[in-house]
A and B are shown apart, each in its own frame.
Chain A
Amino acid sequence: GQQLNQSPQSMFIQEGEDVSMNCTSSSIFNTWLWYKQDPGEGPVLLIALYKAGELTSNGRLTAQFGITRKDSFLNISASIPSDVGIYFCAGKGNEKLTFGTGTRLTIIP
């Protein structure tokens, strides 16, 4: 099935570092969502974006809806151990969500 391209695929960082990841698509979306998934658990919604250019924060997380409507970015500031997991972007065109391939975040002690 169709998936969005997320990069990087994986990240290894030290606690306290900032993190940036992005999601790109060949299609235009009218909504972008960012989810975090812990191993064996369901994805948890972090941030929802509804308007091109929109910048939204949720604590240490900030996400942006790209101006072209074909991309979105997620930044995590001052990472902490509980940030470990897989981050998925999801774009909504009509009614269906299309999910990205995921970015796996690992924090090195």
Chain B
Amino acid sequence: DSGVTQTPKHLITATGQRVTLRCSPRSGDLSVYWYQQSLDQGLQFLIQYYNGEERAKGNILERFSAQQFPDLHSELNLSSLELGDSALYFCASSATPRLAPYEQYFGPGTRLTVT
């Protein structure tokens, strides 16, 4: 158990809908990262938050947005869903992004299926 929690575990929704994925980082970690993993693919970095503020952006679509709240949990919002958005979405956390250790610890993921 990495200490990172994600809910829900599974999500099935229809095209055009909007969903929210939730992540709670490990206790004491200030940085949260979101990744997308499509079937048999690698991990694509979406976005990073540090202590409530956006820190870095990857290949995140404009239909997707995220935020990190004062209690450090984070939510990833996916809107106008398309079939191609079906994937595993992982959250990871780390202590601070600039100081060692740089290790990111991953949650169990949310499997999103868009029908």
Contacts and interface: CB of A to CB of B under 8 A. Distances in A.
Interface string B47-59: 0100000011011
The secondary-structure label for the interface of chain A is strand
B12 interface: no
B106 interface: yes
Contact of A102 (B42, B90, B98): B42
Contacts, number: 61
A101 interface: yes
Contact of B108 (A31, A33, A42, A95): A42
Interface residues of A, number: 24
Contacts of A75: none
A97 interface: yes
14 contacts: A1-B58, A35-B106, A40-B88, A42-B2, A43-B106, A44-B106, A45-B106, A95-B56, A96-B45, A97-B33, A97-B104, A99-B43, A99-B45, A102-B42
Interface of A: 1, 3, 31, 33, 35, 40-45, 48, 50, 88, 90, 92, 95-102
Given A33-B103, A40-B88, A96-B56, 16 more contacts: A1-B44, A31-B100, A33-B104, A42-B4, A42-B107, A44-B106, A45-B103, A45-B104, A45-B105, A48-B103, A95-B97, A95-B98, A96-B58, A99-B42, A99-B45, A102-B42
